[in-house]
Amino acid sequence: MTEIALAPTHVERKRQPPSPAKRLALLAAIGVFLTAGCLLASPSLLRLALPAYALAAALCLRQPSQTQQLLMLVLALFLLTPLLRRLVDLHAGWESQNYLMLAPYTAGSILVPMALLRGGRRSPTGWCCIAAIAISLYGCLLAVLMGRVQAGLLEFLRWATPPSLALCLADYLAGDVRRSIRIDLACLVAVPLLGAYGIYQYVAAPPWDTLWMVNSQMDSIGKPLPFQLRVFGTFNSPGSLGFVFLFGLLVLLGSRSRWRWIGLGLGTAAFALTLHRSAWLGLLLGAAWITLLGDRRARFTIGAAVLAAALAIPFALALPEVGQVLETRLNSFTQLGTDGSAYDRSAGYRHAMDDLDEHPFGAGLGIAGAYQAADGSETKVIDGGPIEIVLSLGLIGGFAYLLAVTVAVTRCLSFRPRDPQIAGQQGSLLAFFVLLTSGTTTAGEIGLFFWISVGILEGRRAQAARIAAAS
């Protein structure tokens, strides 16, 4: 008898790991359930649970192929954490030093070793990112030596995380010409949501936001009453929200999606209510760049947006609740001599030399802002990016840091592809760089968007070079 081999009825398949997109969706669902559970059961638990979750989620997305998903996680944490902090404070009591605010940086902390440990040939822009990280470490060590240990470490995360993200994004894109970072899709979702919440905040002044205004004692953001506050959205200040809108609106101006109009409408309305003059000027500068280098559709979008704004402004000024504050802010452009913030900035530049005489090699990171209070020091406000950079890092370190930033920006702006989305990224990068004179736009939540542009533009440059070499 001949034996007949029976075909197997079951073929074992090797279990495939979930795709990066599915893994991000799963992590997002876990984060939503964790946040909702803590807010309902014991809100104070979220102060420690969210930073721990952020670190664990980031570690799950540490592979180079998951860089885009890690970017979305970090962005979501930066956009939502301040709002969650205010909700927790409303139900669990106010805490000036709130560990919940560390969540974006615990997630971003893995970016520093990821960026430095990845091999491969570095571009000049990549070396600029590494230089920014190294100089930030120098500033952190100075702070530790001067006794500001906690403030120095926290500020190091604020200064080193954004350029580390830029390096990871550039390496991710350079690894495969088919890869892309759809930051425009993120803006299509985030900008209208931020805009809608900003308008709601201005009209309703919800209790969690007014609690923050009262306890933070920030006189510059108006009164904790409807129609009498400067919109700060899900962030902690109108300045941060203004720069986020600046980035998002310029990216949308270069977008091809038909849904961009929703974001442009809601975003521009809330952007105006931030009363952030520097960001307003930055939007004009970035739009001018897109007009020069964008395609016909981008120019049409800008033209239509300008026309819509021109038609809407008279109606906005006619509303008593809106017109008075907008008119006062617009008039301040022609009255800089009596403007308080302009005077503080010019005075800061005059006094910078006196402080440099005391610490010519730098006073270390954490000399200004809320993190200075972490070590018991009196909080000091420095109005001007170059002032804070030079005072923190010293003459040599500050010059090296500013040189690295300038070289990175110059290389990114010299890239000339025929792509309106790239023109939008370049416009935002140029605006952030010019507005460095009004604040440190290369660190913290604002610096995150500056360095995202650097990373994406450098990665696209590397992809273009590979395609040119292969053809």
SS3 222: strand
Cα 224–Cα 227–Cα 230 angle in degrees, nearest 5: 65
Provide the 10 A C-beta neighbour count for residue 379.
13
Residues 6+ apart with CB under 8 A from 129: 115, 163, 164, 166, 167, 170, 404, 408, 451, 454, 455
pLDDT in tens, 408-463: 999 999 987 767 678 889 999 999 999 998 889 999 999 999 999 999 999 999 88
Q: What is the mean pLDDT of residues 229-234?
A: 93
Span 271-302, pLDDT tens digits: 999 989 899 999 999 999 999 887 888 888 88
Task: Report the distance separating Cα 248 and Cα 313, nearest Å.
Answer: 21
Q: Of 419, 415, 454, nearest to 256 (Cα)?
A: 419
Q: At what angle do helices 444-470 and 124-145 cross, to 10 degrees?
A: 150
DSSP-H helix ranges across 217-276 = 238-253, 260-273
Query: Strand locations in 389-429, DSSP E?
Result: none
| Pairwise CA distance, residues 233 & 198, whole Å | 5
Q: Are 205 and 211 in contact (CB under 8 A)?
A: no
Letter for the amino acid at 242?
G
SS3 content of the chain, % helix, strand, coil (to 5): 75, 0, 25
Statement: the pTM of the whole predicted model exceeds 0.75: yes
* pLDDT (tens digit per residue) in 65-76: 888 899 999 999
Q: What is the pLDDT of residue 1?
A: 46
Give domain limits for the chain: 19-109, 111-470
Distance separating alpha carbons of residues 97 and 376, to the nearest angstrom: 11
pLDDT at 262: 94
Please name the amino acid found at residue 235.
Answer: F
User: pLDDT class for 348, splitting at 50, 70, 90?
Assistant: low
CA 38 vs CA 32, 234, 438, 468: distances in Å: 10, 19, 39, 53
Mean pLDDT taken over the chain? 85
- Res. 89 pLDDT band, cuts 50 70 90: very high
User: For residue 373, what are the CA distances in angstroms to 93, 140, 367?
Assistant: 19, 16, 9
Note the pLDDT tens digit of each residue in 99-123.
899 999 999 889 988 888 875 567 8
